[in-house]
Amino acid sequence: MRAIQIHSFGGPEVLQLDEVTPPLLEVGHVIVHTRAAGVNPIDWKTREGGGAASFSGGVPLILGWEMSGEIESVGTGISIFNPGDAVMGLLNFPQPGRCYAEQVNANAAHLVLKPKNLSFAEAAALPLAGLTAWQALYDHAHLQAGQRVVISAAAGGVGHLAVQIAKAAGAEVIAVASQANHDYLRQLGADAVIDYHSTELSDAVQDVDIILDGVGGLSAVQACRCLNHNGIMVTLPSATAQQVIDAASQTGHRVTGMRVVPNADQLQELADLAEQGKLRVEVAARFPFTEVAAAHQASQSGKTRGKIVLEF
Structure confidence by residue, pLDDT tens digits, 230-289: 999 999 999 999 999 999 999 999 999 999 999 999 999 999 999 999 999 999 999 999
pLDDT at 20: 98
* CB 129 within 8 Å of CB 163: no
pLDDT of residue 199: 83
What percent of the chain is modeled with pLDDT above 90?
Answer: 95
The rounded mean pLDDT for the chain is 96
Spatial separation of the C-alpha atoms in residues 66 and 130, rounded to whole Å:
11
If DSSP codes are grouped into helix, strand and coil, which group holds residue 55?
Answer: helix
The model's pTM is 0.96
Q: Is the pLDDT of residue 47 over 90?
A: yes
Question: What is the average per-residue pLDDT within 177-195?
Answer: 96
CB 156 within 8 A of CB 305: yes
> Comparing 204 with 5, which gets the higher pLDDT?
5
Span 168-176, average pLDDT: 97
Q: Taking 90 as the threshold, does the pLDDT of residue 151 lie above it?
A: yes
d(CA 152, CA 298): 20
- Residue 196 pLDDT > 90: no
The one-letter amino acid code at 73 reads S
Residue 29, beta-bridge partner list: 107
Report the alpha-carbon distance of residue 86 to residue 209 in Å, rounded.
Answer: 38
Query: 304 - beta bridge partners?
Result: none
**Residue type at 254?**
R
Mean pLDDT within 85-90: 98
Instruction: Look at residue 6 in the predicted model and tell me its pLDDT.
Output: 98
- For residue 202, pLDDT beyond 90: no
- When pLDDT is averaged across residues 175-204 and rounded to a whole number, the result is 92
**Under 8 Å CB-to-CB from 35, ≥6 apart: which residues?**
67, 68, 69, 70, 120, 124, 311, 312
pLDDT exceeds cutoff 90 at 203:
no
- Residues 177-202 have a mean pLDDT of 93
pLDDT number for residue 115: 97
